[in-house]
Chains A and B, each alone.
Chain A
Amino acid sequence: DVKVTQSSRYLVKRTGEKVFLECVQDMDHENMFWYRQDPGLGLRLIYFSYDVKMKEKGDIPEGYSVSREKKERFSLILESASTNQTSMYLCASTAGTASNQPQHFGDGTRLSIL
């Protein structure tokens, strides 16, 4: 079974802090994704990566950056956290480019910015 592990289930940070959310997958997947989930809006794509050191902006990249130095690890960075970034963050991974591949998700990180 594919395992996608997010470093924290719950995280509380202060406005202006630099925040790191870590995600690791164990199936050698090329593609990794960061989504943000808010009530009534579903999941929205922040960034994705299709290879080491490669990244593409998603639908809502403002205020975020990412890092992928190793294939199995994809980090989401909030450069200067703001209260409107309080949300649920979900990491996912998938292999290849075929449109029939389901994405495998981590358990999510509930981030609160005070």
Chain B
Amino acid sequence: AQKITQTQPGMFVQEKEAVTLDCTYDTSDPSYGLFWYKQPSSGEMIFLIYQGSYDQQNATEGRYSLNFQKARKSANLVISASQLGDSAMYFCAMSGDPGRRALTFGSGTRLQVQP
């Protein structure tokens, strides 16, 4: 079975600073994917970034980067130059269980960006 752990229920960051949201995972599947989603207060889930288990380089998408450390089973999200609009819930999720097709989600981290 797959498991995602997000140990930070809430985080604060000053505007324009960088912040790292932690995610660790556990799986016995040899091939898997790791995702980060953003959920603003309005409720929609916005896909941010993806990392494949065999990808050699860390994924980046604009101000988002994924710090993937396979041996440590961690997939932390780094947001550079935080903006007020980054205030939201952030979920780490993984795929890979071939019989499941769904994502396994962590419990989320609420990020608040302060001016």
Contact = CB atoms under 8 A, between A and B. Distances in A.
A99 B106 contact: no
Contacts of A106: 44
A42 B95 contact: no
Chain A interface category by residue count: 20 to 34
A74 interface: no
Specify the main secondary structure of chain A where it touches its partner. Answer: strand
Interface in A37-94: 40-45, 48, 50, 58, 88, 90, 92, 94
Contact of B50 (A58, A102, A104, A110): A102
B28 interface: no
Interface in B5-54: 6, 9, 31-33, 35, 37, 42-45, 47, 50, 52
Contacts, number: 63
B102 interface: yes
Interface residues of B, number: 28
A107 interface: yes
B9 A58 contact: no
Interface string A98-113: 0111111111101000
Interface of A: 9, 31, 33, 35, 40-45, 48, 50, 58, 88, 90, 92, 94, 97, 99-108, 110
Shortest 7 CB-CB contacts between residues of A and residues of B: A105-B45, A42-B105, A99-B95, A108-B43, A43-B105, A102-B47, A42-B107
